[in-house]
Amino acid sequence: RLLAATDRTLSCYESSSGRTLWERPLESRTSIYRKPLMRCTDSNIFIAFDNAKKKGVSCYVADTGRLKWEQTTAPVSHLAATDTAVYIRGRSAEALDADTGRSLWRLDAAGCSPITVSGEKVYLIDSTDRDRLMAVHPQTGRTLWSQPVVRSCSGFVIEDGMGFLNSIDGVLYAL
């Protein structure tokens, strides 16, 4: 399958032929000035919306495009998704249950970096007091550990068990 979202529509195409499998209007449109943020799992499609009336995340069933739930949140700048949760990054970090949209946890964690999910940890950079890389529990948001780091809006990348962080001044760090 190939999925595409515009400010008004969510579409699913057959990847081999390009044939339209389904097309749905987005229940909460995204502003024409912002491109939709979309993350997918095998069973869900998550789309962040931001318009003059409200902001938040919608969840659609991947096979049919049926709206499963919609949750109002603060403005969303990044999304990450697993089978059990969707992780939102804006002025804070928040996890929503993938099945219900219910908030699992919320952290006051300022910053511009995306959320990275790997194994049994969620990683983010918190710039509230000082820049620190945090690892939190995916279901509770409880801090597992934190480490002082340089300022970064690129996020934390994990590859072959090694973590990488690209600083705001262009230096790549291996952690």
Query: In angstroms, rounded to a whole number, what is the distance separating the alpha carbons of residues 105 and 94?
Result: 6
pLDDT of residue 26: 82
Q: How confident is the model at residue 30 (pLDDT cuts 50, 70, 90)?
A: low
Spatial neighbors of 1 by CB under 8 A, at least 6 apart, are: 12, 13, 14, 15, 21, 62
- pLDDT surpasses 90 at 131: no
Q: How confident is the model at residue 136 (pLDDT cuts 50, 70, 90)?
A: very high
pLDDT in tens, 61-89: 999 999 999 998 888 889 999 999 999 99
